[in-house]
Amino acid sequence: MLHPSPQVAQALAQGRPVVALESTVITHGLPYPQNVETALAMEAAVREGGAEPATVAVLGGRLIVGLSLDEIEYLGQQAGAATVRKCSRRDLPIAVACGEDGATTVAGTMVVAHLAGIELFATGGIGGVHRGHPFDVSADLRELGQTPVTVVSSGAKSILDLPATREVLETEGVAVIGYGADELPAFFARSCGLPVDVRLDTPDQVAKLIAARRRLGLSSGTLVTVPAPEEACMDPEEAEAAAAQAAREADEQGIHGPASTPWLLRRVVELTDGRSMVANTALLTNNGRVAGQIAVALVALRQDV
């Protein structure tokens, strides 16, 4: 069922640190060629952190764990194409059974990472509760509540209803960690004023928390939130104004469901004259590096036990 790359298979067999990466950022998040450049930059950042990157996708019905350069390029050129299914938990068996190409969301990547035995997963921002649509809740939140994978992100995407998203995470029993931060990051901005459950400042501290969750036998995941780099982040008021305007326009145009997040992100890029894309790419690579460092610390912790 799973098709790990030779590099990922070897790293897992040898007990070396591995970090999973999603693929919707390639097909549904950024335009070509920035999508390919960002995907490769994330992989490089994971390696800088000391771990092996494993970008996840479905190609021809095969669950690939660790895309090759050619496969990343192929997906990059399909950006926006209706032929690539956006795969959450619900969609994975459909894509596999029908022999389709699919890009994995946060939830979809968590499922595959867990099947492959990968603990750490780095992304930009998780999904959440959509503004003005409290029943439109991303499957990412439920996945975090039921799949024991640690997700390193810059919080939830700022186009979402962040207070409602924070409440759902609490309901799902997900520990929200502020990595060097006392407040929840707001994706493009470093803070949104909402509290985290605990602040941890080092990879070793996060690794110990992950190990404690494992010893307790909890099936929930852990969310490690990392503020965007200071030099690339946006002013919180500017980020909020752009997100609110984009949400209003989406409602006016009747854009809802799976199509809404890619549309909203593209609109925010336009409203901020590209500043949100600069912040997005910076936080993606930073999160990949941090996830790599945590994966290294987790492997070291296992060896010390």
Q: Which sequence positions are flagged as catalytic?
A: 22, 157
Distance from the Cα of residue 221 to its chain's centroid = 13
- The amino acid occupying position 102 is G
Handedness of CA 87, 108, 185, 162 (dihedral sign): positive
Tokens of 190: 């470093």
Distance CA 41, CA 47 (A): 10
Cis peptide before 33 (omega within 30 of 0): yes
Side chain identity at residue 38, one-letter code? T
Cα R_g (the chain), whole angstroms: 18
For residue 61, give the nearest of 99, 23, 109, 17 by alpha carbon. 99
List all residues 6 or more positions away from 187 whose beta carbon is below 8 Å from its beta carbon. 124, 125, 154, 155, 156, 157, 158, 228, 239, 279, 280, 283
* Angle of helix 260-271 versus helix 275-304 axis, rounded to 10: 120
| Contacts (Cβ under 8 Å, ≥6 apart) of 138 | 106, 107, 126, 127, 128, 129, 130, 160
Neighbours of 93 (CB within 10 A): 10
* Alpha-carbon gap, residue 270 to 41, rounded angstroms: 23
